[in-house]
């Protein structure tokens, strides 16, 4: 039911997030990198992007998803290393093993980030605060990197709290503190609020959750549709989502960014066989062939404009991808810097967990 602000059962949720994970692993393995601006990502000459960077690099304005070429302009002394995914997966498995000592309710969001529901944990006399401290200490001792944690009565607040005292910090929001904490929170921090929605909220004179409290649910629904219901609840500190230990994969995809723009449709079509073979392999590894619901093609043009074309389909079909590519290309008919092929999977629980973590293309 929309907007019913029912007081949820009090949970003890921890959100753990390793600090600059990829870069931290690299600095652990090569101490000479410590204290130097470091990024892990693709090469500038291949139009790579920064996957993550350490805090020394962030002081120069470098951040994740930034083109490596731009990062190097901001920080000429930046050390850029290619991702070593197997090392990161090993570290991630070590961290997950630590989490499992406290609760079975662990919901990974990525290799280095997860929610834990420790409502019924017996360790540390059931104190989520002490459990989070112990987990962070064990990660440091076992994996050799630092992690930050947020402790709160729900997932929304725990995730915000984990970012409050980064790096290597912890922040706790007790149930009695929720109302006061949320009231001062900028609406841009609310889950689901991006730049466009934030600008709309600001245009309506809504800067903080305290401002949002004055809006009725019907008014929020009129202004923001279904998101209005979420805004109504979150500004009151209510998030009833449970920590889900299993994870259902929604899509499988591959993409390639080209060092030199593909000049025309023929050049784009020539890349399809390689992309298609890569997608076939990834689908097989994910055991997702029987779950296909849609096929899609993503194109990013030279001017960074992006378009996606999709259609219904239950099996991989090279000709369908070729047709989708042509449709998407004709929307702009200009050189192409990136092509992606993907499938959207049926919304159903799999008997076998497909994947907890994204696979880098």
Q: How far apart are CA 118 and CA 352, in angstroms?
A: 25
- Other residues' Cβ atoms within 10 Å of the Cβ of residue 119: 16
Residues with a catalytic annotation lie at 113
Q: How far apart are CA 201 and CA 24, in angstroms?
A: 37
Token pair 């070590």 in the structure block, residue = 94
Beta strands in the chain (DSSP E): 13-18, 38-41, 50-53, 79-81, 106-110, 113-117, 147-152, 170-172, 251-262, 292-301, 306-312, 336-345
Closest CA to 85 of 109, 111, 107: 111
CA distances from 205 to 183, 199, 212 (A): 15, 10, 9
Token pair 């959100």 in the structure block, residue = 15
Q: Pick out the residues of the known binding site for Mg(2+).
A: 17, 112
Q: Where does residue 253 fall: left (phi above 0), alpha (psi -120 to 50 degrees), or beta otherwise? A: beta
Bridge partners (DSSP) of residue 262 are: 336
* DSSP3 helix / strand / coil % (the chain, rounded to 5): 40, 20, 35
Q: How far apart are CA 117 and CA 131, in angstroms?
A: 11
Strands 292-301 and 251-262: unpaired
- For 268-300, give one letter per residue: b (16+ CB within 10 A) or e: bbebbeebbebbeebbeebebeebbbebbbbbb
Here the tokens at position 57 are: 């690099």
């Amino acid at each position: 039911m929309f907007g019913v602000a029912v007081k949820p059962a009090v949970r003890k949720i921890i959100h753990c997030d390793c600090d600059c994970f990829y870069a931290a692993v690299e600095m652990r393995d090569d101490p000479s990198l410590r204290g130097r601006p470091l990024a892990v990502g693709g090469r500038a000459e291949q139009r790579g992007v920064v996957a993550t960077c350490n805090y020394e690099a962030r002081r120069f304005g470098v951040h994740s998803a930034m083109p490596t070429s731009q990062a190097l302009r901001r920080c000429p002394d930046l050390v850029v290393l290619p991702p070593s995914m197997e090392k990161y997966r090993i570290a991630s498995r070590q961290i997950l093993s630590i989490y499992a000592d406290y609760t079975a309710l662990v919901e990974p969001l990525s290799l280095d980030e997860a929610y834990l529901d420790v409502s019924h944990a017996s360790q540390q006399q059931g104190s989520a605060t002490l459990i989070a401290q112990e987990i962070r200490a064990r990660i440091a001792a076992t994996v050799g990197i630092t992690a930050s944690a947020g402790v709160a009565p729900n997932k929304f607040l725990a995730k915000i709290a984990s970012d409050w005292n980064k790096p290597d910090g912890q922040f706790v929001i007790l149930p009695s503190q929720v109302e006061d904490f949320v009231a001062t929170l900028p609406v841009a921090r609310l889950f689901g609020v991006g730049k466009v929605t934030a600008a709309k909220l600001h245009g309506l004179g809504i800067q903080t959750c305290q401002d949002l409290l004055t809006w009725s649910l019907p008014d929020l629904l009129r202004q923001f549709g279904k998101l209005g219901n979420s805004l109504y609840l979150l500004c009151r500190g209510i998030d009833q989502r449970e920590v889900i230990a299993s994870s259902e994969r929604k899509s499988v995809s591959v993409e390639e960014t080209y060092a030199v723009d593909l000049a025309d449709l023929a050049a784009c079509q020539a890349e399809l066989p390689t992309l298609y073979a890569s997608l076939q392999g990834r689908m097989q590894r994910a055991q997702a062939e029987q779950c296909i619901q849609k096929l899609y093609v993503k194109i990013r043009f030279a001017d960074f404009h992006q378009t996606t074309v999709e259609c219904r389909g239950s099996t991989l079909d090279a000709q369908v991808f070729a047709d989708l590519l042509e449709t998407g290309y004709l929307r702009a008919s200009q050189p192409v810097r990136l092509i992606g092929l993907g499938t959207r999977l049926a919304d159903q629980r799999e008997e076998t967990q497909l994947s907890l973590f994204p696979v880098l293309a």
